Amino acid sequence: MHDFAYRKPAAGGWARDLDHREPVAGEAADGRVRVALDGDGRLVELHLDPRVAYLPLDELRRALIDAFTAAWDRRAGRDGDVAARYGAGVAPDRLRASLAEASETAERRFAEVCTALSDLNRRAARPW
């Protein structure tokens, strides 16, 4: 029997690996079925132990679903941890003040750009 495994080609092949987080893995059937998902939840690795050839089809199907679900749940947990870190300690008043300052700065810069464009338009209309 062969050890069937599929691995996504490295970046530069057909796949674009935009998310550089480490893959998450899930397994089932006592480790005979393993999958790995990238940061976007795409399957990047599938390992089938040769002994799965002797599993009934329904059991193999269930093992594949269980392994994928375990990896997906692990990925979701990791994403939740990251999101929680970003949300921790955010002071609404500070955020509101920062947004107001950014808006004022953007409005001021936009007014400067409009003035510069208006000046350029006037100069272009003048005969030389």
DSSP assigned state of 27: E
pLDDT beyond 80 at 51: yes
Q: What pLDDT, on a 0 to 100 scale, did the predictor assign at position 3?
A: 46
Tell which phi-psi region holds residue 30, choosing left (phi > 0), alpha (psi between -120 and 50) or beta.
left
Q: Are residues 38 and 70 in the same domain?
A: yes
CATH number at residue 77: 3.30.1310.10
Block residue for tokens 């893959």: 23
Q: For the segment 52-64, what is each residue's pLDDT rounded down to a tens digit?
A: 888 889 899 999 9
Q: Are residues 71 and 117 in the same domain?
A: no
Q: Which domain holds residue 128?
A: 91-128
